[in-house]
Amino acid sequence: MRLYTALLKCCSTRRSLLQIHGHLILTGLHKDLLHATMLIESYANVGCISASRHIFDAFFPMLADSFMWSTMIKCYATSNLFQESISLFHAMQYHHPQLTSFVFSPVLKACSGLHNVTMGKKVHGLIVKSGFEYDVVLATSLLQMYANVGCLDDACSVFDEMPVKDVVSWSSLMSGYMQCGDIDMGLEIFSIMALEKVDIDIVVLMKVAEACACLGALNQLKSVHGCFIKRWTDIDTNTDRRKMDNCLILMYSKCGDFLVAEKLFYRASGKDVVSWTCMISGFNQRSCYREALETFIQMQGYGIKLNAVTMMNVLHSCTRMGYLREGQSIHCFMIKRCVDSDMDCVAPALVNMYGSFNELKLCQNVFETAKEKTILSWNSLIATYAQNCSSRKALEVFVMMRTEGFFPDSFTLSSTLPACGHIGDLCAGAQIHGYIIRAGFHPSDFVRNSLIDMYSKCGSTDKAYKIFAELESKDIVTWNVMISGYVQNGKSEEAIALYYQIHRQCLKEDHVTFLTAIQACSHLGSLTKGRWIHHKIIMSGEATNTYLDSALINMYAKCGDLGMAQRVFNNLQEKNVVSWSSIIAAYGGHGQIEDAVLLFSQMVKSGTRPNEITFMSILSACSHAGLVKEGLQYYDLMREFQIVPQLQHSACIVDLLSRSGYVDRAFDLIKSMQIEPNASLWRTLLNGCYIHQRLDTAEAIQKRFLKNPKL
């Protein structure tokens, strides 16, 4: 019996496992509970979970003992089949109610994987009811579950009640805070660990180093570096020492001290693939993408075997450099060299790279050819479609993902919810919201903000505000999303009321807060409120940017204070195309066409190239003033700046010509357009025909519509 037990533990391939399984069948030992249980675990370890279940079903339900039940549940959880793990646990409760402590840890892992807080708390209750609440292993599993789903208060309660707190429990609590973004609290727990003289291991130190890097806390990182040096003599193997070196190289890079990172890299005795990859990643973080690619080439010269993380960083470098051809070459290189046995994890990086070049067909091909689809690859494809204005396709992929049994995470939801908002699909957005509630999903702040934004973009500001009001803690991003939602839906009074609340609660506004508040004042035409917010911008010391400056110019112009709009423009240290376009539109909107034309000339002389919006502003001004000659000159000037007139530009000229009596010229312009004219353009021309009694042209338009009803 011991022989087979030892052999099963040594099996690392499916073939060797099948051979031992055959021997067990010949000897009749496959009917033995212990050997069958070990077979179940061994098949799961080599990735054949279906075979594990087949063996389990031979004993299900009455012949299986608690150890076999627990092992099968653990195998499902380890294979990330969380729903199957929980379903089997429910079956065990029915058929084998005598639960042991071993079964709870994998079930808690499954609850964590599904972000199912409700189920997790039920399991917690069962643990207490079964008398296992003081089991250190189970307490640590509970702590990890609560921390992973973001229930940090519950995690702290479990931690406080633990009779024995070891380095694993301390580390789990610390990691929980760091995962939820409260890195300061995580570092504070590390300080308490040091004061309590907990035996801190290298794993904890590496987590703390990573936390310091996230905060950019270079001084704290140097302290952790000192702890590494103190423990250097306690490290037995060169492998662990390399791990420490690699961790420090990466963390110093993240903190911006690349000189120290380079020194550590060149001093490292045995540079492995991780060391080189850390350097490539460091160059990427500094936006030195060319140097990253050069390091990759140098790495190959040393004959270092590449892995998936290396390739993901190199693909990122190609993406940021705009190197599509080079990215495709890297893709071919990976296929030819079989760089990593787990190259499917590179699929998301490939999807992201091709997506950045709007190569959506290539994205789909990469996704479909991946041997094993993961939640990361699904997320990448959904995000790519959503970011490339293919929101309906993004939602279709989301439905496919759910059909194939994958459960969305925060990243999935943060892509699908904006897709619903972009196309105004309130029904789909509400269904996703319903799923979040039913699944007991504990959404992140980003997902909550996405829900508010989705409902706002779908025109349902009442539902958006209900979610906003129910949030116990709101950061400035959440306030900005709600204010922006009101502005987008023409509810500027409500937007300003929310801004007053921010001011009363002494929250720190950012440039987005000020931008949306200024837009609300612009829509209301409220000069008094606009001036007050402008004063707040100045007093806050918030550095203005192009969009905020342009919003101030637009607000003062729409509120009738053109002089103040000009002062804001004059005080700009750097004037770009956005600010020039705003001041031109301001004068054009007030009928001061000569000033608008003069500003346009000054803009061109300053070396700033006009864009589509600039021409739209000057053409609108000419249209309102009835300046046919000037309007046509600017329309022709667009081509000199390599700008193809769009429908809105042509609509201005058609409106100008038809109202000025040049109906035939307006009709000829529409017929010569490369873009298909829309209904609004034809209405504008027909309105000119009505004003100037040009029934002949109106009849010609009617004949065109009869010949081609699709117009």
Residues 671 and 618 in one domain: no
Return the minimum-mean-pLDDT range out of 184-193, 355-364, 493-502, 643-652: 184-193
Percent of the chain with pLDDT over 70: 93
> Are the beta carbons of 394 and 416 closer than 8 angstroms?
yes
Instruction: Among 617, 644, 671, identify where a domain stops.
Output: 644
Choose the most confident range, by mean pLDDT, from 20-29, 631-640, 678-687.
631-640
* Average pLDDT estimate for 598-620: 91
CB atoms within 10 A of CB 133: 16
Rounded to an integer, the average pLDDT of 317-345 is 79
Residues 619 and 656 placed together within one structural domain of the fold: no
**pLDDT bracket for residue 459 (50, 70, 90):** very high
Q: Assign 169 to helix, strand or coil.
A: helix
Residue 615 lies in a domain: yes
What's the rounded mean pLDDT across residues 511-520? 93
Asked if 449 and 410 touch (Cβ cutoff 8 Å), the reply is no
Please count the other Cβ atoms lying within 10 Å of the Cβ belonging to residue 223: 12
What's the token pair of residue 579?
């600010």
Higher pLDDT pick, 148 / 236? 148
Same domain, 630 and 675: no
Average pLDDT of the chain to the nearest whole number: 85
Question: Quick check: 586 pLDDT over 70?
Answer: yes
Whether 321 is in a domain gets the answer: no
In this structure, the answer to whether residues 607 and 639 fall within a common structural domain is yes
Is residue 226 very low, low, confident or very high in pLDDT (cuts 50, 70, 90)?
Answer: confident
Amino acid 338: pLDDT: 63
Please indicate, yes or no, whether residues 639 and 655 belong to a single structural domain of this protein: no
Sign of CA dihedral 330, 335, 339, 341: positive
Q: Would the CA dihedral through 251, 252, 254, 255 be positive or negative? A: positive
Lowest average pLDDT, out of 241-250, 285-294, 564-573, 608-617, goes to: 241-250
Choice between 324 and 506, residue whose per-residue pLDDT is larger: 324
Kindly state whether residues 653 and 671 are assigned to the same domain. Answer: yes
Mean pLDDT value across residues 563-591: 90
What's the burial of 287, exposed, middle or buried (CB within 10 Å: 0-12/13-18/19+)?
A: exposed
Total Cβ atoms within 10 A of residue 325: 8
Q: What is the pLDDT of residues 71-96, one digit of tens each?
A: 999 999 988 899 999 999 999 988 88
What is the average pLDDT across 494-506?
91
Contact 378, 348 (CB under 8 A): no
pLDDT at 4 over 60: no
Rounded to whole angstroms, the Cα distance separating 381 from 350 reads: 10
State yes or no: pLDDT of 193 exceeds 80. Answer: yes
341 — pLDDT class (breaks 50, 70, 90) = very low
Q: Which of 586, 609, 644 is the last residue of a domain?
A: 644
The verdict on residue 371 lying in a domain is no
Query: Does a structural domain hold residue 425?
Result: no
Residue 236: predicted pLDDT: 55
Among 587, 621, 644, give the residue marking a domain's end.
644
Confirm if 492 and 523 have CB atoms less than 8 A apart: yes
Q: Is residue 612 part of a domain?
A: yes
State the Cα angle at 222 between 221 and 223, rounded to 5°.
Answer: 90
Higher local confidence (pLDDT), 421 or 710:
421
CB distance 581 to 613 below 8 Å: yes
Domain match, 691 and 679 both: yes
On whether the CB atoms of residues 163 and 134 are closer than 8 A, the answer is: yes
Identify the residue with better confidence: 374 or 427: 427
Give the pLDDT of residue 494: 95
Q: Quick one: what percent of the chain has pLDDT higher than 90?
A: 32
Q: From 471, 470, 469, 451, select the one nearest 460 (Cα to Cα).
A: 451
pLDDT of residue 707: 65
Is a pLDDT exceeding 50 seen at residue 117?
yes
**Of residues 184 and 329, which shows the higher confidence score?**
329
> Cα–Cα distance between 52 and 220 in angstroms, integer?
48
> Would you say residue 708 lies in a domain?
yes
Number of domains in the chain: 2
Least Cα distance to 102 among 71, 134, 123, 62 occurs for 71
Kindly state whether residue 203 falls inside one of the protein's structural domains.
no
Q: pTM for the complete prediction?
A: 0.66
Residue 47 has pLDDT above 50, yes or no: yes
Q: State whether 678 and 708 are in the same domain.
A: yes
Q: Which residues of 366-377 are buried (b: 16+ CB within 10 A; e: fewer)?
A: bbeebeebebbb
Question: 112 vs 98, which has greater pLDDT?
Answer: 112
**Would residue 502 count as lying in a domain?**
no
Q: Are residues 711 and 649 in the same domain?
A: yes
Taking the C-alpha atoms of residue 408 and residue 383, their distance in angstroms, rounded to an integer, is 13
When comparing pLDDT for 108 and 29, which is higher? 108
Over 70: is that where the pLDDT of 339 sits?
Answer: no
Give the SS3 label for residue 393.
helix
Q: What is the pLDDT, as a whole number, of residue 463?
A: 95
Q: Determine the pLDDT at residue 661.
A: 87
pLDDT for the residue numbered 554 = 92
Query: Are residues 638 and 617 part of one domain?
Result: yes
C-beta neighbour count of 512 within 10 angstroms: 17
Angle between helices 202-215 and 238-254 (to 10 degrees): 10
Q: Domain range holding 665?
A: 645-711
Query: Which tops the pLDDT comparison, 66 or 254?
Result: 66
